[in-house]
Amino acid sequence: TQLLEQSPQFLSIQEGENLTVYCNSSSVFSSLQWYRQEPGEGPVLLVTVVTGGEVKKLKRLTFQFGDARKDSSLHITAAQPGDTGLYLCAGGKADSWGKLQFGAGTQVVVTP
């Protein structure tokens, strides 16, 4: 059972378009992390959010943590081919330190 549900599973868009990836759960998390992974490589940490309602921006990427700390979203503005990759959300809980719960991932393809 996947504690964190990511949607959509796959997203294909043209360069310059915007996209949003969602990460939802019925559980409360103490922190939520977003990663991007390219084929054959390890996941690269994009951001960590810990406060309900928190919004963080990283250039064209905007991350939001839900008020109840059960969900998160990643919005990319004016996507570029370099944004192509597998986006993974992962949640941490204070009572199970060391165990990140990963979502199944969203494969994003940005074509020129």
Query: Site mask, another protein, residues 24-63, x = CB under 8 A?
Result: ------xx-x-x----xxxxxx-xxxx-------------
Minimal CA–CA distance to 64: which of 78, 53, 76?
53
Minimal CA–CA distance to 90: which of 51, 49, 53?
49
Nearest distance in Å: CB 15, another protein: 25
* 13 is a contact residue toward another protein (CB under 8 A): no
Phi and psi torsions of 31, nearest 5°: -155, 155
Report the interface residues with another protein, using CB under 8 A.
Answer: 30-31, 33, 35, 40-45, 47-50, 88, 90, 92, 94, 98-100, 102-105
